Amino acid sequence: MIAVVGASAAGLTAAQTLRREGYHGPLTVIGDEDRMPYDRPPLSKQILSGAWGPEKVTISSTVDAEWLLGVRATGLDLSARRLALSTGNTLEYDGLVIATGVRPRRLPFGQDLAGVHVLHTLDDTLAFKADLATARSVVIVGAGFIGSEVAAVASGKGVAVTIVDPLPAPMVTQFGPWVGGLVGKLHADHGVRLRMGVGVTGLVGDDRVNAVELSDGSTLPADVVLVAIGSVPNTEWLAGSGLSLSNGVDCDSLCQAGPGVVAAGDVASWTHPAHGVRMRVEHRMNATEQAVAAARTLLGKGEPYAPVPYFWTDQYDVKIQAYGTFPAGARPSVAAGDVGSGRFAALFAQECLITGVLGWNLPRDTRQLRTRIGLRAPDARPRESADSSLTTNSASP
């Protein structure tokens, strides 16, 4: 019997792969959300904007398995190969796939006030969307990619949008100050107010939030607040199991976490064979690719998992695509298009090696440049700096 815990992108792909690779035995998928697997990337884009109805996010391809939905795995006995479930039942397995993903990090204060939201599930999104419909102002706490995408959608609805983050620019942790500056300018050009370099110290309101207090002593009025300050791997149910949980579920390069146990997706960290470092990737493509690798390992067909990580985000009419890695201090150089036209692709290099490519409304060149990752960087100096003018209403790809 193979059990898959987590019924989302990685869990579904693992189950599909097991069947496709010839596993015909009993297969059980356990998921604590009470719905079939659905895609999260459209939540902060098409679902929030209203372009899509909720039914469009369901991942239509399914798999022959027993689905225990609305059921939580609460414990793991590694030596007995047994799961404890929230129903009070236990489930014995021969092989286990852990695909429990992450959940949004919350503020230590004010998070329970009405009008304060996080955005991870379909229900989160529909509740936030409903609140946004009558709001005049929204404060977004956190300028990562989810906060930035939500700012883009909310500003299109005529709501006054402010993003607050102690860091100097949006998405700066992911892609560094140069890209952060460009994303910041993109938002400013669309009328979004950026309060970078300040933290949130309090949420004000009796039952419902009405303002946000900042570390510089100022206060922002807010009808609605979105907290988008990163995420936490769902590993609590594995505490005491004997699995190593230093960065999500720690795996080796084959995605093995323990005897008969593999992990995949946002919850799994593994040692990337090409980089020699432990990585945990919270991106949609990795959920699929790593689930395939982990399922194959469980069937004895494993190979070291060595992907080129891929990520995209859509903000206004800009599609940003990123392949590879973007270590702190990696130097960008524009290799195709130009920043001023709003269509470019830049290589990022560290110690003379190309580690990643980032495209801004230039998908074909970005894809082609991806083959340069791992090669020597010809010129690591940026050809254009972050204060080059950026046209944001360029044609979409």
Which residues form the interface with ligand FAD (CB under 6 A)? 5-11, 30-33, 40-41, 43-44, 72-73, 99-102, 119-120, 146, 234, 237, 265-266, 282-285, 287, 311-313
CB of 382 to ligand FAD, least distance (A): 25
Q: Which is nearer to ligand FAD, 210 or 231 (CB)?
A: 231
Q: Which is nearer to ligand FAD, 21 or 282 (CB)?
A: 282
- Residue 114 sits at φ, ψ, to 5 deg, of -60, 145
CB of 133 to ligand FAD, least distance (A): 18
Closest Cα partner for 251 from 327, 311, 302?
302
CB of 267 to ligand FAD, least distance (A): 6
Residues 343, 337 contacting (CB under 8 angstroms): yes
CB of 235 to ligand FAD, least distance (A): 9
Q: Which is nearer to ligand FAD, 77 or 384 (CB)?
A: 77
∠ at Cα 355 (349, 358), nearest 5°?
Answer: 85
How far is the C-alpha of 307 from the C-alpha of 256, rounded, in Å? 16
Q: Which is nearer to ligand FAD, 7 or 369 (CB)?
A: 7
- Other beta carbons within 10 angstroms of residue 292's beta carbon come to 19
CB of 322 to ligand FAD, least distance (A): 9
Stretch (H or E) spanning 313: strand 310-315
CB of 313 to ligand FAD, least distance (A): 5
Q: Which is nearer to ligand FAD, 289 or 377 (CB)?
A: 289
How far is the C-alpha of 39 from the C-alpha of 17, rounded, in Å? 18
- Other beta carbons within 10 angstroms of residue 345's beta carbon come to 24
Q: Which is nearer to ligand FAD, 154 or 377 (CB)?
A: 154
CB of 206 to ligand FAD, least distance (A): 29
Q: Which is nearer to ligand FAD, 71 or 349 (CB)?
A: 71
- List of residues 6+ apart from 120 with CB closer than 8 A: 40, 43, 102, 103, 104, 231
| Two tokens, residue 209 | 């939030």
- Other beta carbons within 10 angstroms of residue 373's beta carbon come to 20
- List of residues 6+ apart from 360 with CB closer than 8 A: 182, 318, 319, 320, 337, 339, 342, 343, 344, 345, 346
Q: Which is nearer to ligand FAD, 182 or 380 (CB)?
A: 182
CB of 327 to ligand FAD, least distance (A): 19
Closest Cα partner for 136 from 28, 266, 224?
224
